[in-house]
Amino acid sequence: MKLIILDRDGVINKDSDQFIKNPAEWQPIPGSLEAIARLNQADYRVVVATNQSGIGRGLFDMPTLNAIHDRMHKACAQVGAHIDAVFFCPHTAESRCHCRKPETGMLEEIALRYNTGLSGVPVVGDSLRDLLPATALGAQPYLVLTGKGTKTQAAGNLPEGTLVFCDLAAVVSELLKPAAHKLD
């Protein structure tokens, strides 16, 4: 099984410092949904792992988060893409829960659900907190320069081995490059 784990805000859709609080605020980054469709066509399971502390802060509730994700799923379907699962943490940073990135709990839950290790699995994010749990679990961190990615790159201290691309579409193009054929 081929698996890829994507952050949501700043990777699939435009990010907001004021949070994505309703379906109308969810706007895909150009090319991201088509990139997911290309992953689907290459038999990847596409899973989203996203911190959603807006719930813990009282900015929106579970029905609203479900409506946001429904919009995302419908937008994907319009371009022939699908997301296999969405994992999220509703807690604030102050709660210090194990599922909130940069902790590893959410990625561990994905590995458990799909009965697979995460060694080498691409994990795509736009912030350091997306990359750290990937590195801790042996996955391959990819930083995209959309969302908070440019600021994250400028701040430095990226985990060793982090690969940097302009956006999700560029990551997918790299992942789907045909393997070089060896001549014996």
Instruction: Quote the pLDDT of residue 182.
Output: 44
Q: How far apart are the first and last CA of the chain?
A: 28
Give the model's pLDDT for residue 180. 54
Residues 6 or more apart in contact with residue 182 via CB below 8 angstroms: none
Segment 128-132 mean pLDDT: 97
For the segment 2-13, the average pLDDT, to the nearest whole number, is 98
Supply the residues annotated as catalytic: 7, 9
Helices 128-136 and 105-113: crossing angle, nearest 10°?
Answer: 60
Q: Say if CB 89 and CB 52 are below 8 A apart.
A: yes
> What are the pLDDT digits (tens) for 86-100?
999 999 989 989 999
Three-state DSSP class for 28? strand
Q: Which CATH class is domain 2-175?
A: alpha beta
- Residues near 76 by beta carbon (within 8 Å), at least 6 away in sequence: 33, 36, 37, 82, 83
Indicate the domain borders of the chain: 2-175
What does the pLDDT look like over 65-124, one tens digit per residue?
999 999 999 999 999 999 999 999 999 989 989 999 999 999 999 999 999 999 999 999
